[in-house]
Amino acid sequence: MSAEKVIVRKATIADLELLLELSTGLLEHDANFDATLDKSWAKGPHGREMFINRITKNDGVVYIAEVANKVVGYIIGGLIEPDTFRNIKTMADLEEIFVDSNYRHYHVGSVLMENFHEWCKAQLVEKLSVSVYAQNQNAIKFYKKVGFVEAYITLEMPIV
């Protein structure tokens, strides 16, 4: 594996079903942190629409990572409206990033992040945000490694 090169390319509509499978894998992983997740969301109308929009419209992007001609991960994100109380005009959200567990710790996520970061710079993005489960310490460690810093903490309380 260490000798294999990570190739990143923009996703196309032809990649849609594969991306929905990978996104389902992310949901299954994240269900460890949130029992309320709908693990079938990605393949439903909202998940499908999100990927189609990010692939076909100019306000977002999806990159796919391949190793030895095998798709091993993806990143999806796009432009969002900044909060009105901030002095910035352009902001982006990293909506999802997922790397097959067999290919983690081989810089696949970092290469995906570098490509998304370059896309953000080309869009003149001033701030990039990502949401992560507080219990997902591996993801938090990764995000901090690639330059994210804590900005907000969102707390939830179930109401029954």
Q: CATH number for the 6-145 domain, one of 1.10.10.410, 3.40.50.1980, 3.40.50.300, 3.40.630.30? A: 3.40.630.30
Token couple for 37: 């997740």
Please state the domain extents for the chain: 6-145
Please give the model's pTM, rounded to 2 decimal places.
0.94
pLDDT in tens, the chain (160 residues): 455 799 999 999 999 999 999 999 999 999 999 999 999 999 999 999 999 999 999 999 999 999 999 999 999 999 999 999 999 999 999 999 999 999 987 899 999 999 999 999 999 999 999 999 999 999 999 999 999 999 989 999 999 8
**Angle, vertex CA 91, rays to CA 136 and CA 98, nearest 5:** 35
Token couple for 131: 């949401």
In whole angstroms, how far apart are CA 33 and each of 27, 37, 77, 118, 156? 10, 9, 21, 30, 13
